[in-house]
Structure 1
């Protein structure tokens, strides 16, 4: 992850035409802090559109189809995946960005890339891999998303990764530990100096929460792990559920649930736009740097923020901590931990492509004693990259290949 960037030298006709309507506090392609590797400007799109396109065509983006949020991929065809979640985040974020006259293309790029580094099996997989990596720098899925776009993608002859703009990379890095922020140069400065990212990154961040809270309600009801009776005590749900029943007395079942969730999402989006507009009017930022120096600008009103928090707490207690979810999370953690231990004990079990990415293959070829003499942290990080890139079903199959003797 290089800290050196090449800035863009001029405003292209395309970027001027497509971004002329943007507010002064928005991110403009021509004013980007640039890319790590210098490239010719795009002919028929802006720099942020190029970033979005590269993300959509990446291998890691395609894998999101088979990585899940709460439910493991094989548990049902209708539950959300990281891919459907990312698309929902992008749709919500673009709606907000359009109303605030900020850069929709940058918002979309960040939204589509924010989960590229997530492990299989959702947060259970992430927690398990972080525990495995405890003595080797830990594992942060936001930082892993940055590693994916900076290093691991292999699509271009001139550089590793996707060579995205600074602003897109900044938005992908939603959280970062102090230790890792120190290593990231300019990209880590805002975490050290307690500054904000661009308004586009802030929008993508809140859109992420809106999307996963509401689709987890939908998936939780579909699975039967939470019930309408339980949700009746949650103000945000109750208000819109009763409003939907009042306007359409005859609807029921899935149609009523969808109508309620649709209304909740709309309320959250409209409130976010109105509250953020008030923040912008009060603080009057005139540049991206003003946004970075200001408090968080993209916020809900106090009332709606409290209601959204209540919904989040309900989901944590009743869905994420449900015994059936916990059982699957326990299985997922065992799979991730088992894979890590097997590969760490003998990296020769790794696919050849991953052995060839570092010094591990040569060390093990020359030293039959294995990991005792290998570069421990380098080896562990290589294994973490491999496991984090797995889909749910690939991780399960890989676990079976390593530990299950099949007579067929």
Structure 2
């Protein structure tokens, strides 16, 4: 970090927190702001990005026209950020970094939620596959076009590391692992320590993601009448909460009962995470952010009992929500939209908008199939649900305006 910086405020952190004053900087050096820390600037750049705005019309499970109530990637990201900030504050960690990571973690998601990602990954298998977390890295370092001096948002090392390790280390201690090319390239420039865990703030953002989607998936599923409250009474973790709420507030309206259940579920998961994390901090006693990275297990974690309950709850949601026939029908439509567009744009790249067409090195207007596939994937992944439906009609409906 440049020595000339003189931020006008001070903040106390735990010794194992990511301190902005010790940031490893950015890929492309640039002057830092006097009134905002580097991590605050990362957060602000995410908030002002086109990819973040588009999350408003990218859905989690339900397609956008199903109703205004259901979560979108935008509302999900805001909920994750709120949970991440609260946990970070309780542990004396850097709230700004945790918030930046929480807000950025879904920037690479496709339209139509997991159905859209599955479809894009299937058609991209011959070309390296598709993963929304890797796509988020592409958005942050390449695809956002807002600054004159560089592509992407040029986030700090700590933000890039946190996004890349959202699901943990990419390679083992012996250097074995499957690392996507864009991350290999970044690692060669930034030395991202791919065999270690990310910062405590990044670990918090990842688990806040789990907490948020459990809570809002239950909320959305009950709102959509995919299953009834009573069926959850036998499910670990959520079952005791349902029973407590129903016994305490038997005459409560269904809407309020659902919100009370969701609120208590979030509280139970956060409380467990804080308890287990404090136990691990006492066991490993990290004295710096680098100590957090070198510990062979994550320091931010749920207890073993909560992990097992989470797995059971995920299985319940998988069978009762994600495989519900209404969701299956939406997912089927989504897969067709994504697959149709990919196949057509690969076969006829001149149908891409002008700004998305490239000139190859060998012959004008041509690039190799792998690069073309990644270009088409970037184009489709950036679409909102609504735009994907409209673009599909433009490409396949003879009566649609082009």
> Same-fold call, TM > 0.5?
yes
Aligned residue in 2 for 1:313? 315
1:23 aligns with 2:14: yes
Distance in 2 (CA, whole Å) between partners of 1:200 and 1:165 is 14
Distance in 2 (CA, whole Å) between partners of 1:18 and 1:333 is 50
User: After alignment, is 101-110 or 322-331 more displaced?
Assistant: 322-331
Q: In structure 2, do the counterparts of structure 1 residues 161 and 374 end up closer, same or farther at CA, with 3 Å as the change threshold?
A: closer
Aligned residue in 2 for 1:215? 216
- Match runs of 1:292-307 below 5 Å: 292-294=293-295, 295-307=297-309
**What displacement does 1:183 show?**
3.9
> Which 5+ residue runs of structure 1 have no aligned equivalent?
1-6, 366-372
Give secondary structure in 2 for the equivalent of 1:235: coil
**What displacement does 1:43 show?**
1.2
Task: Give the paired residue count.
Answer: 388
Q: In structure 2, do the counterparts of structure 1 residues 117 and 248 end up closer, same or farther at CA, with 3 Å as the change threshold?
A: same
Deviations 1:205-237 (A, max 9, x none): 000000001100110111111222321221222
- Match runs of 1:7-46 below 5 Å: 7-9=1-3, 12-14=6-8, 17-19=9-11, 21-46=12-37
Deviations 1:48-76 (A, max 9, x none): 00000000000000000000111111111
Give secondary structure in 2 for the equivalent of 1:133: helix
Aligned residue in 2 for 1:179? 179
Q: In structure 2, do the counterparts of structure 1 residues 407 and 153 end up closer, same or farther at CA, with 3 Å as the change threshold?
A: closer
Q: CA contact under 8 A between 1:10 and 1:30: conserved in structure 2?
A: no
Aligned residue in 2 for 1:3? none
Q: In structure 2, do the counterparts of structure 1 residues 352 and 179 end up closer, same or farther at CA, with 3 Å as the change threshold?
A: same
Q: CA contact under 8 A between 2:88 and 2:95: conserved in structure 1?
A: yes
Deviations 1:243-271 (A, max 9, x none): 22333343131101100110110111111
Distance in 1 (CA, whole Å) between partners of 2:368 and 2:157 is 31
Distance in 2 (CA, whole Å) between partners of 1:212 and 1:94 is 16
**What displacement does 1:189 show?**
5.1
Deviations 1:127-172 (A, max 9, x none): 1111111121111110110110111111111111111001111111
1:274 aligns with 2:268: no
Which residue of 160, 164, 167 maps to 2:158?
167
**What displacement does 1:351 show?**
0.4
Q: What's the C-alpha RMSD, in Å, of the aligned pairs?
A: 1.9
Which residue of 389, 398, 401 maps to 1:405?
398
1:47 aligns with 2:38: yes
- Match runs of 1:146-165 below 5 Å: 146-165=137-156
Aligned residue in 2 for 1:388? 381
Distance in 1 (CA, whole Å) between partners of 2:191 and 2:384 is 29
1:202 aligns with 2:207: no
Distance in 2 (CA, whole Å) between partners of 1:389 and 1:10 is 38
Q: CA contact under 8 A between 2:87 and 2:204: conserved in structure 1?
A: yes
Q: CA contact under 8 A between 2:117 and 2:130: conserved in structure 1?
A: yes
**What displacement does 1:362 show?**
9.5
Aligned residue in 2 for 1:115? 106
Which residue of 80, 85, 106 maps to 2:76?
85
> Which 5+ residue runs of structure 2 have no aligned equivalent?
171-176
Q: CA contact under 8 A between 2:393 and 2:400: conserved in structure 1?
A: no
User: After alignment, is 85-94 or 179-188 more displaced?
Assistant: 179-188
TM-score, normalising length: structure 2: 0.92
- Match runs of 1:200-349 below 5 Å: 200-294=201-295, 295-349=297-351
User: After alignment, is 260-269 or 320-329 more displaced?
Assistant: 320-329
Q: CA contact under 8 A between 1:197 and 1:291: conserved in structure 2?
A: yes
Distance in 2 (CA, whole Å) between partners of 1:390 and 1:234 is 36
